[in-house]
Amino acid sequence: MRQSELFTKTRKTAPKDEVAKNAQLLIRAGYIHKEMAGVYSFLPLGLRVLNKINDIVREEMNAVGGQELTMSVLQNKELWEKTGRWSDEVVDNWFKTQLKNGADTSLAFTAEEPITNIMRDYLNSYADLPKLAYQIQWKYRNEERAKSGIMRGREFLMKDMYSFAGSADEHEKVYEKVAEAYVKIFQRLGIGDRTYRTFASGGVFSKYSHEFQCLSPIGEDTIYVHEGKKIAINKEVLLPEVLGDLGVTQEELVEQKAIEVGNIFSLGTRFSDALGLKFKQKDGSEAAPVMGCYGIGTSRLLGALVEVFADEKGIVWPESVAPFSAHLVAISSGNEDVIKEADRLYELLKDSGIDVLYDDRDVRAGEKFADSDLIGIPTRLVVSEKTMSEGGIERVDRQSGSTGFVQDSEVVQQLQK
């Protein structure tokens, strides 16, 4: 895409009330727009990144047998009353609203109730189990304060998967399979090496839940990392009993700040019991499916990636989610030959199936480079009088800053990988 045609532009400053680095950079670079505290719109560049994150999550959920659906945002009060979660005293971040006839409804903050209710129509027999269903849908949480940019939005996009198993054993197998899929997702997003499966408090039906915590000094959570086992313990459950369960000692652990980028939870039969979801077992008797839930807030994760990778110049995207694979920057100073050569390269890259943002604007070189750094596309390709006289293209790696001259055929080959 030609940058001159993109409707967004970079900005020198973010809104004064925006204190989070992720939102400041994303607003300045034209990825998001702040509608109000904790509520953001995704502009073309931001939507591209969000879609790429969603696609990675979707692929890995499909790979473990997840079936995608999209549930409504508006919620049926009756279902939430059955599980005791309608009351504002139980759930303190509901958004509620009313239908014209005065009936109460609300905006989904999660979806255990509706998915369990849907499954009542379809899960009848042990032969129907296990089943995994997920959605990537907007969620609404009426946070008291919303100061972490898109990392704790009041409106945010979340992949929420729910599993239904015929026994505790079957549930454990599904749970572990999804946990492995989560590891793959964070690897593909470039944060695998700093993201730890973290033991956290469970509930009535399981001793532990698991969070996926990504190390970052701005993280709101404190975790204790065991590097050898590649696991961590949330501060909330740092107890002798837990250390014993995991076979680790306090001395082996390192305290770290971290951002929660995913969580998985065994629900037991809390929701299937409350909502009357039952299936026939092999012996003809009835039982309630054992459930699990698995969340990743994909729009929040986008913010976490900015926090983790950004440097003093701006955003630095991992290749897997960058809005474009390459940022082609023409430094022409009005020289028609340079413009012609950059145009040629732009067409070549597009024809080779490479997503490229082409800075064809008539502005100073310094402004172009500053914008390119701010936007954070992994590979920058510079065409100028100088590069043409040296018979190549200057390739700049956004993350390391390393530069080198390359031929167009090399560029195409590298970026097609």
Contact set with a second copy (CB under 8 A): 5-9, 11, 30, 33, 35-36, 39-44, 46-47, 50, 65, 67-76, 93, 95-100, 105, 107, 114, 118-119, 121-123, 128, 131, 133, 138, 140, 142-144, 154-155
Name the strands in the sheet holding 403-406, side by side, starting at the edge strand that comes first in the sequence: 356-359, 326-331, 379-384, 393-397, 403-406
Angstrom CA distances, 96 to 99, 108, 111, 292, 414, stand at 10, 9, 15, 26, 51
Burial 89-127 (b: 16+ CB within 10 A, else e): eebeebbeeeeeeeeeebbbbbbbbbbbbbbeeebeebe
Question: Going by C-beta distance under 8 Å and a sequence separation of 6 or more, which residues neighbour residue 202?
Answer: 208, 209, 265, 266
Q: List the structure tokens of 133.
A: 């269903």
Determine which helix (DSSP H) or strand (DSSP E) holds 258, and give its type and residue range. strand 254-268
Taking the least distance from each CB to a second copy, the nearer of 118 and 287 is 118
Q: Which is nearer to a second copy, 43 or 381 (CB)?
A: 43
Could you tell me if 77 and 104 are in contact, meaning their C-beta atoms sit under 8 angstroms apart? Answer: yes
Which of 80, 224 has the CB closer to a second copy?
80
Taking the complex as a whole, the smallest distance from the CB of residue 302 to a second copy amounts, in Å, to: 12
Q: Which is nearer to a second copy, 49 or 200 (CB)?
A: 49
| Minimum distance from residue 7 beta carbon to a second copy (Å) | 5
Based on CB atoms, which residue is closest to a second copy, 116 or 209?
A: 116
Question: Could you tell me the smallest distance in angstroms from the CB atom of residue 317 to a second copy?
Answer: 18
Q: Which residue has the tokens 């031929």?
A: 407
Give the nearest distance from C-beta 6 to a second copy in angstroms: 7
Q: 117 or 379, CB closer to a second copy?
A: 117
In the bound state with a second copy, the residue whose beta carbon lies nearer, of 35 and 255, is 35
The whole-angstrom separation of Cα 254 and Cα 52 is 33
DSSP 298: H
Question: CA nearest 264: which of 355, 203, 342?
Answer: 203
Q: If we measure between CA atoms, which residue out of 319, 318, 327, 191 comes closest to residue 260?
A: 191
Q: Which residue has the tokens 């039952």?
A: 278
Distance in Å, CB of 60 to a second copy, minimum: 17
Q: Which is nearer to a second copy, 125 or 249 (CB)?
A: 125
Tell the smallest beta-carbon distance from residue 131 to a second copy (Å).
Answer: 5
Distance of CA 290 to the CA centre of its chain: 27
DSSP state of 236: G
Alpha helices, DSSP H, located in 189-297: 240-246, 270-275
Cα 155 from Cα 334, distance rounded (Å): 45
Count how many residues are written for the chain: 417
Q: How far is the CB of 68 from a second copy (least distance, A)?
A: 6
Min. distance of Cβ 284 from a second copy in angstroms? 19
CB nearer to a second copy: give 122 or 405. Answer: 122
Shortest Å distance, C-beta 8 to a second copy: 6
